[in-house]
DNA sequence: CATAATTTTTAGATATATCTAAAAATTATG
DNA sequence: CATAATTTTTAGATATATCTAAAAATTATG
């Protein structure tokens, strides 16, 4: 009994993380991505929907374990070790999302919460076999890149649809708004990842766009929509 | 914040269980199956590799929540509600094992630990879609029956191979020893679930069996093996 | 049935992850 | 730069799930 718990606690300390720890790592990674730099306590607390005091304690622990660099009042950032873990979690999340959509026929607006659970299953072998089973997908159902076994992934060249000029053509490559409401809305208006979009014209008044879909149908979308969509320009 | 935690705690109390609670439910179910009746504290503690004092506390909680009937010093058993939950967990475990073996090409001796994690993912929709994706399998890779959506499953008619007489023929339908060592051993000697086995003769001295495999190869197995194998007799 | 053995419970402690309220530290602003 | 606003930390509490040591209860045995 002593031996077992000792072993388990060792494993935990070195290579594994609790669900909670994994959620912190992932949240920090995403905040770093968004802000491009260091992250602060308040933002992380908001992202995790917990209180600052709780975050303070966990940051101390994560700092001791060398998952983050933490300079009091200067914000913090992931170490190499921390980043590697975070990328692994994102890899798992996105591969499971591909599985759910491509094999179990879930809608792209239905998979996130389930993937939030599946991403915590610990087995490298499992995830590499899943990757192979899915045909080594490069992106998840939302167009987000999937890190490979070594944690490498393509930096996207996509830009916001709202940056394009009238007359240009582009491929729908990703989203910045991952909300279920937005995804369902896109389903409703018939816009799917990979589609070619042509910009008919842009209304000066409110920056709404008239888009020509691959079905030749024309639709008007608000700037909220063009700011939620990432596209790759066809040269 | 107050609202959210209240909601979460309500959900927890009514329809969901923590990992720990799920592991207790499953362990109790399996012990009931094995002993055929009520379960006691000590046996459950052993099955979960925890201490009796811990079990006492948890049984109180499970009793309050009406998952078990608990009569002090008379042992306890699952209520209908508790049994339903336990069967649901077993359904998830076994479906994931099928997935791991039939889709990800894991060996039958490699899947249990991963399924122990996957079984805790909470989504009825997920598990029903997985069931459909796998073609509604009736048994897992170890021959154990998979409960359907309503928790119904076939009671097996299999008997121990060690009960058969020389000359009889039977189909390898399940195992009573689920250890990795046993599963790997069966792989090594070339005995797989579903195979037809013919009993050549039985050695009086130590009850070892000479088996004729479908490959016509003959092997000798000890009584430890014939007691680990379940077969269905071909009439 | 008295004693021994086994099983279960109680009492008090620990680890993790959270909270609230208040204090302290830092940053922004007139 | 003094004050206000914001951010972070401290202190103390709670819930869950575990432990150890000892007491209490139950069951088995001569
Ligand atoms: Mn997601
Ligand atoms: Mn995604
Ligand atoms: Mn199993
Ligand atoms: Mn199994």
pLDDT at B2 over 50: no
Residue of A114, A130, A133 lying closest to B123 (CB–CB): A114
Distance of B50 CA from D26 C1′ (whole Å): 22
Chain B contact for A133, CB < 8 A? yes
Q: How confident is the model at residue A15 (pLDDT cuts 50, 70, 90)?
A: low
Measured CA A124 to C1' D3 distance, in angstroms: 56
Query: pLDDT at residue A165 above 50?
Result: yes
A112 and A178 in contact (C-beta within 8 Å)?
yes
pLDDT at A8 exceeding the cut of 80: no
Q: Which two tokens stand for residue A70?
A: 């933490």
In this predicted structure, the answer to whether residue B5 has a pLDDT above a threshold of 70 is no
- Residues of chain B with Cβ-Cβ distance to A114 below 8 Å are 121, 123, 126
Provide the edge-to-edge strand list for the sheet that holds A169-175.
A159-160, A229-233, A169-175, A196-202, A209-212, A218-221
Task: Please tell me which of the candidates B114, B125, B130 has its beta carbon nearest to residue A123.
Answer: B114
- Residue B134, chain A, CB below 8 Å: the answer is no
Interface contact B9, partner A, CB < 8 A: no
Percentage of chain B exceeding pLDDT 90: 83
Spacing of A76 CA from C26 C1' in Å: 16
Q: Give pLDDT tens digits for B24-64.
A: 999 999 999 988 889 999 999 999 999 999 999 999 999 99
Q: Where are the domains of chain B?
A: 1-155, 159-232
CATH number of B159-232: 2.30.30.90
**Strand ranges, E, within chain A:** 68-71, 75-78, 159-160, 169-175, 196-202, 209-212, 218-221, 229-233
pLDDT at B73: 66
> Residue B129: what pLDDT?
98
Q: Which nucleotides of C are covered by protein (CB under 7 A)?
A: 6-12, 16-22, 25-27
Average pLDDT, stretch A51-57? 96
User: At residue A231, what are phi and psi to the nearest 5 degrees?
Assistant: -135, 155
pTM strictly above 0.75: yes
* Rounded distance from Cα B125 to ligand 1 centre (Å): 17
A181 touches chain B (CB under 8 A): no
- CATH class of the domain at A1-155: mainly alpha
User: Where residue A29 falls among pLDDT bands split at 50, 70, 90?
Assistant: very high
Report the pLDDT value the prediction gives residue B234, as an integer from 0 to 100: 76
pLDDT value of position B15: 64
Does the beta carbon of B19 lie under 8 angstroms from any beta carbon of chain A?
A: no
With cut-offs at 50, 70 and 90, classify the pLDDT of residue B232. Answer: very high
Contact assignment for A1 to B49 by CB distance below 8 Å: yes
Distance from CA of B53 to the nearest CA of A (A): 15
Higher pLDDT, A22 or A235: A22
- Of A49, A104, A113, which has the smallest distance from its Cβ to B130's Cβ? A104
How many CB atoms are closer than 10 A to CB A211? 23
Q: Please say if the pLDDT value at position A207 is more than 70.
A: yes
SS3 for A106?
coil
Cβ–Cβ under 8 Å, residues A160 and A230: yes
Beta strands in B25-116 (DSSP E): 68-71, 75-78
CA B111, CA B32: separation in Å to the nearest integer? 24
pLDDT band at B235 (very low <50, low <70, confident <90, very high): low
The CA B97 to ligand 3 mean position distance, Å, reads 7
Q: Is the CB of A54 under 7 A from strand C?
A: yes
Can you tell me the distance from the alpha carbon of B76 to that of B1, in angstroms, rounded to the nearest whole number? Answer: 38
**How many angstroms does the Cα of residue B184 sit away from the middle of ligand 4?**
14
Q: Which residue has the higher pLDDT, B234 or A62?
A: A62
Conformational region of residue A162, where left means phi above 0, alpha means psi within -120 to 50, and beta covers everything else = alpha
Tokens in use for B62? 């499970």
**Which residue, counting CA atoms, is nearest to the C1' of nucleotide C22?**
A53
* A18 at B interface, C-beta within 8 A: no
Return the pLDDT at B118.
98
Q: Which residue from A78, A46, A85 is spatially nearest to A59, judged by alpha carbons?
A: A78
Dihedral sign of CA atoms A22, A120, B149, B232 in order? negative
Nearest to A121 among B4, B49, B118 (CB): B118
- pLDDT, residue A215, reads 83
pLDDT at B7 over 60: no
Centre of ligand 3 to C-alpha A32, Å, is: 40
DSSP B155: P
- Average pLDDT of span A174-201: 95
Retrieve residue B9's tokens.
């705690």
- Calculated CA dihedral for residues A202, A203, A206, A208, nearest 10 degrees: -50
Bigger pLDDT: B229 vs B3: B229
- Would an 8 Å CB–CB cutoff place A100 in contact with chain B? yes
Q: What is the pLDDT of residues A69-111, one digit of tens each?
A: 987 767 899 999 999 999 999 999 999 999 999 999 999 999 9
- pLDDT, one tens digit per residue, over B91-126 is 999 999 999 999 999 999 999 999 999 999 999 999
Do the chains contact at B129 and A104, CB–CB below 8 Å? Answer: yes
The CA–C1' separation of A31 and D22, in angstroms, is 51
What is the spatial distance, in angstroms and rounded to an integer, between the CA atom of A153 and the C1' atom of D17?
39
Q: What pLDDT, on the 0 to 100 scale, is given for residue A49?
A: 97
Q: For position A65, what pLDDT does the model report?
A: 94
Decide if B133 and A106 are in contact by the 8 Å CB cutoff: no
In contact, B199 and B168? CB cutoff 8 Å: yes
Per-residue pLDDT band for A216 (boundaries 50, 70, 90) equals confident
SS (H, E, C) A20-46: HHHHHHHHHHHHHHHHCCCECHHHHHH
Q: What is the pLDDT of residues A113-157, one digit of tens each?
A: 999 999 999 999 999 999 999 999 999 999 999 999 999 998 888
């Amino acid at each position: 009994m002593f031996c077992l718990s000792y072993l388990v606690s060792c494993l935990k300390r070195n290579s594994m993380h609790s669900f909670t720890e994994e959620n912190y790592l992932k949240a920090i990674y995403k905040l770093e991505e968004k802000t491009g730099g260091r992250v602060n306590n308040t933002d992380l607390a908001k992202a995790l929907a917990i209180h600052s005091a709780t975050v303070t304690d966990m940051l101390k622990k994560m700092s001791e374990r060398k998952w983050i660099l933490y300079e009091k009042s200067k914000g913090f950032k992931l170490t190499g070790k921390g980043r590697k873990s975070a990328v692994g979690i994102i890899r798992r999340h996105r591969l499971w999302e591909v599985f759910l959509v491509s094999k179990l026929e879930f809608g792209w607006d239905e998979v996130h919460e389930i993937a939030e659970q599946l991403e915590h299953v610990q087995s490298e072998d499992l995830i590499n076999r899943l990757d192979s089973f899915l045909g080594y997908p490069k992106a998840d159902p939302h167009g987000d890149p999937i890190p490979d076994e070594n944690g490498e992934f393509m930096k996207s060249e996509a830009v916001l649809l709202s940056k394009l000029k009238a007359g240009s053509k582009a491929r729908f490559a990703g989203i910045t708004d991952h909300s279920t409401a937005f995804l369902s809305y896109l389903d409703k208006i018939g816009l799917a990842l990979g589609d070619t979009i042509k910009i008919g014209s842009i209304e000066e008044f409110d920056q709404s766009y008239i888009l020509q879909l691959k079905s030749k149908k024309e639709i008007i979308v608000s700037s909220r929509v063009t700011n939620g969509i990432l596209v790759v320009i066809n040269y």
